[in-house]
Structure 1
Amino acid sequence: MTAAATVAVETAPAKNTHPLARLAARRVLEGALTLFALSILVFLATSVLPGDAASAVLGKQATGPALKAMRHAMGLDRSLIVQYEHWLFGLLHGDLGYTALGYGTGGHVTVWSQISDKLSNSLALAGTAFVPIVILSQLLGVFSALKAGRWQDQLISVVTLVPAALPEFVLGTVLLSVLFTWLDLLPPVSFVLPGTNPFSAGITLILPVLTLVGVTLGPAVRMLRAGMLDALEADTVAVARLNGLSEWRVVRRYALRNALAPTIQVFALIAQYLVGGLLIVENLFGYPGIGTELVNAVTIHDNLEVQSVTMLLAAFYVAVTIVADLLVMILVPQLRTAASR
């Protein structure tokens, strides 16, 4: 064998050594390109809106010279290309810039210091809702599949799908009316003191968490139920039953693993929705999260804060999508092989 042939033989398998790593690199590259394109759209969309932060900050004092000076201090008198380059460069280096509120008070309040506590509160709320969604969807989905067509299956469908069919503000208002107005069991406002742990007043999280769980649990249960029904009809499950394995072992070892693969994508969508859906729920219950902060930033035309928060949420969406794709590839080796070709 020649030296060239030896090198070819030794290097050929390397192409297929780490298909998952290559897939991850490809997904990360696609995600980066998506975020770059989105950054252009977000910047242009916020820049063409009527009004600007300088006018909103100065209010009645927005006279000609004062407005010109404020726009210069905020960098709004520069071309859109220069503004975008400055914002994108800072974003890539972790510098989100300064809020319009800081300019209005004569200080320099960074966007990160303004949103960090709110972001932590939102993640705490979303995480608190996500955990019961994952647990309940698996329990109810598996049980519903095992009782397919019976009254238990129909009851689970009604209980989970009726709340999911309602918009967040409708379900939240119904829960507020029942649990606060009628029964006086829970506080109507999810008040969290600045700088404190949102779990220190955990009872105030119950209503927003119930709202988020109610509107998202139904699709997860139905998807896992459908996956379980398909998995239970597989040949491997039939062979396992013929070998005398108990139904629980058959479900846990053979069916649930295959059913989880498509459900992971549903969990990813739910995680993305929970962060995006916080806009409505946080404002409904007065919860001091990133959704409430984003609404306030839009109100005062703080484009820099709106842009930065939007990109942070978009980065979360992309990261969740990448992780979900990789988890599915890990659970289903056939998909990993097909994707690596």
Structure 2
Amino acid sequence: MIRRAGARIATGAGLLLLLSLLVYIGVDLLPGDAATARLGPDATPERVAGLRHRLGLDRPVTTRYAEWLMGLLRGDLGMSTTGRPVSELLSDRIGNSALLSTLTLLLLVPLSLGVGLVAATRRGRGLSTGALLLVSVPEFAIAGALALLFAVTLRWLPSVSLIPPGESPLGHPEALVLPILSLLAVGLSYAVRAIRAATVTAFGSPQVEFLRLNGIKPGAVLRSAVIPAVLPVAVQVWLVTGVSLVGGGVLVEKVFGYPGIGESLVTSVQTGDLAVVQALVLVLGAAMLTALALADLAVVLLTPRLRTRAATA
């Protein structure tokens, strides 16, 4: 297990390094840069060239990337083109996005398990079909539909998450409802499909068939054989979905004006603010790799056969 964890860490570090290089070069190749975004389309070429020189944008991209990487090794995320440290710029926004994903995940776990188990039965075919249809709808479309229904038509909730700077979103729960519902709909549709498939497989296993033939009540079969067989898959789905909610929440946050990383990521890509883009890519990439590693570990711990093999290896 220790060797496997060490190999995972080394592989993850290599993937993050490669991802950061590709993103840095990719954003640099986009039309425009921080100088043209700051000065506007009416700026003279001389002013643009002068600002590019002051920001260091006229140097080779590989040189700038190497300097950024050396700063990262010292714990310095660099400076935004706005003149503020990236760590200061993103500290509150990353926390707000993490809060949104955590609250969504707390609702997703029991709902997806319950709905997935019911969807595996004959009575739950409609739920399975609904999840299949919902999983094909983009996040921003769901967010727009919910805003149109609950904010514009019914006027029950605000269409924009107006949270004063420096305040916690928990102090404005009404601003969290629509973003959470949007993310929950997307995450639930995928999780229900995965848990339903695992449940169908568990119901068809020899162990469950043996318990049924011996007259064990359906509730006892569900608790003792079906749910333990489904949990490894469910935990994997929950971990990966929890991280993907942060990435998928970019568009949802943009729709509702929620003060998370969504607006920062979109704006920094548009303006060529590479330091901010790189920081967000590293955070999201590291979170996803950690979730995948924990998902693999959860499978080993929750599956007796694999747990025994790992202990004797």
TM surpasses 0.5: yes
DSSP 3-state at the match of 1:288 = coil
> Structure 2 matches for 1:220-239, cutoff 5 A?
220-239=191-210
> Structure 2 matches for 1:277-316, cutoff 5 A?
277-316=248-287
- The letter for the 1-side match of 2:290 is A
**Which of 158, 166, 179 in structure 2 is aligned with 1:208?**
179
Distance 1:174 1:58 in 2: 37
Give the % identical residues: 37
Contact kept, 8 Å, 1:192 with 1:201, in 2: the verdict is yes
Counterpart of 1:122 in structure 2 is 97
Contact kept, 8 Å, 2:119 with 2:126, in 1: the verdict is no
Is 2:80 aligned against 1:99? yes
Comparing 179-188 with 264-273, greater Cα deviation is found at: 264-273
Contact kept, 8 Å, 1:23 with 1:340, in 2: the verdict is no
Is 2:161 aligned against 1:190? yes
Structure 1 residue 68: deviation in Å? 5.0
Is 2:56 aligned against 1:82? no
Distance 2:106 2:79 in 1: 35
Structure 1 residue 245: deviation in Å? 4.7
Distance 2:279 2:259 in 1: 18
Counterpart of 2:151 in structure 1 is 180
Structure 1 residue 205: deviation in Å? 0.9
> Structure 2 matches for 1:1-341, cutoff 5 A?
20-59=1-40, 64=46, 67-102=48-83, 109-145=84-120, 148-149=121-122, 152-241=123-212, 245-335=216-306, 337=309
Comparing 120-129 with 165-174, greater Cα deviation is found at: 165-174
DSSP 3-state at the match of 2:155 = coil
Q: Which runs of 5+ in 2 are unaligned?
A: none
Structure 1 residue 69: deviation in Å? 4.9
* Change beyond 3 A, Cα 1:24–1:248: farther
Distance 1:94 1:277 in 2: 27
Distance 2:133 2:62 in 1: 48
Distance 1:259 1:110 in 2: 45
Structure 1 residue 47: deviation in Å? 1.9
* Change beyond 3 A, Cα 1:130–1:207: same
* Change beyond 3 A, Cα 1:93–1:254: farther
- The letter for the 1-side match of 2:32 is G
Structure 1 residue 283: deviation in Å? 0.8
Contact kept, 8 Å, 2:253 with 2:263, in 1: the verdict is yes
Structure 1 residue 278: deviation in Å? 1.2
Structure 1 residue 116: deviation in Å? 1.1
Distance 1:194 1:291 in 2: 16
Contact kept, 8 Å, 2:16 with 2:282, in 1: the verdict is yes
Structure 1 residue 123: deviation in Å? 0.8
Distance 1:136 1:30 in 2: 34
Structure 1 residue 126: deviation in Å? 1.2
Structure 1 residue 35: deviation in Å? 0.8
Higher-Rg structure is: 1
DSSP 3-state at the match of 2:75 = coil
Distance 2:211 2:8 in 1: 36
- Taking only aligned residues, the RMSD between alpha carbons, in angstroms, comes to 2.4
Structure 1 residue 199: deviation in Å? 1.1
Q: Which runs of 5+ in 1 are unaligned?
A: 1-19, 103-108
* Change beyond 3 A, Cα 1:340–1:34: farther
Number of residues paired by the alignment?
311
Distance 1:284 1:217 in 2: 20
DSSP 3-state at the match of 2:266 = helix
Contact kept, 8 Å, 1:175 with 1:211, in 2: the verdict is yes
Structure 1 residue 154: deviation in Å? 2.1
Contact kept, 8 Å, 1:24 with 1:326, in 2: the verdict is no
Structure 1 residue 315: deviation in Å? 1.3
Distance 2:189 2:161 in 1: 25
Structure 1 residue 159: deviation in Å? 4.1
- The letter for the 1-side match of 2:159 is P
Contact kept, 8 Å, 2:20 with 2:282, in 1: the verdict is yes
Contact kept, 8 Å, 1:55 with 1:62, in 2: the verdict is no
Contact kept, 8 Å, 2:163 with 2:172, in 1: the verdict is yes
